[in-house]
Amino acid sequence: MSILSLFGCGRAKAPEYPSDQLTTRDGTQFTISFFKHASLSIAVGGKYIYVDPISANADYAALPKADIVLITHSHYDHLDVAAVEKLLTPDTEILCDRTSAEAFEMNCYTMRPGSVATPRDWVKVEAVAAYNTTPGHLQFHPKEREDCGYILTVGGTRIYIAGDTEPTPELRALRNIDIAFLPVNQPYTMTVDQAVEAVKAIRPTIFYPYHYGEVEEKTDIDRLVRETEGLTDTRVRPME
């Protein structure tokens, strides 16, 4: 029996956003909702985690409030303070890279690669370095800025949201990843070949390509699906 079982595609609180409903290793049901580009949410037991909320990608004022907000880095398509503010309650925890933390007046968990946080007793968050490695692209996401990807552990299931990165040594070293969100747009993140390389390295049970579109060079998602067949369960969701 698969460690992760998809029991149907349902609807999130706001019906215009597609979602997948899954089950963690310990049998807890959770929902991943797909907004656009790099913006998504994870809901488990009436609790909500939002990743890189951007106002243009969803009507955050109409969505359930956040227990946790994760921000990978400070680029305009990942950091939007106004969107975050629509999700806040007095108890919301914001976890973000050190550059993004400077944009907030409230206290945040400032995450650096290698940091581990437990903002709630039902989730552990590990920060993974996210940066470019290709000559000519290093300025987009320099290693020294300490942008982050995150591994969330919920109900024993490990969900890797890579942020903007290429297949770094830190990424290749990851193990026991159940679900992976890997970015595939050029020239800023992974090529199709690099995404295939990343999938081969970490062998996630489920792979969601994300962070594509919005640039002139269109990602060949069909080829990505073909070349990861047999390696993982690749699921393409409408995030362009």
State mean pLDDT over 187-209.
96
Strand, helix or coil for residue 40 = strand
Q: What is the pLDDT of residues 136-152, one digit of tens each?
A: 999 989 999 999 999 99
Among residues 240, 55, 49, 79, the alpha carbon closest in space to that of 148 is found at 79
* Residue-level pLDDT at 206: 98
Q: Any idea which fold 5-234 has? A: Metallo-beta-lactamase; Chain A (3.60.15)
What is the average pLDDT value for the chain, to the nearest integer?
92
Q: What is the DSSP string of 145-162?
A: G--EEEEEEETTEEEEE-
240: which 2 tokens? 């362009």
Q: Is the pLDDT of residue 4 over 70?
A: no
Domain spans, the chain: 5-234
More confident residue, 26 or 105: 26
Q: What is the pLDDT of residues 146-186, one digit of tens each?
A: 999 999 999 999 999 999 999 999 999 999 999 999 999 88
Share of the chain above pLDDT 90, in %: 85
State mean pLDDT over 194-214.
95
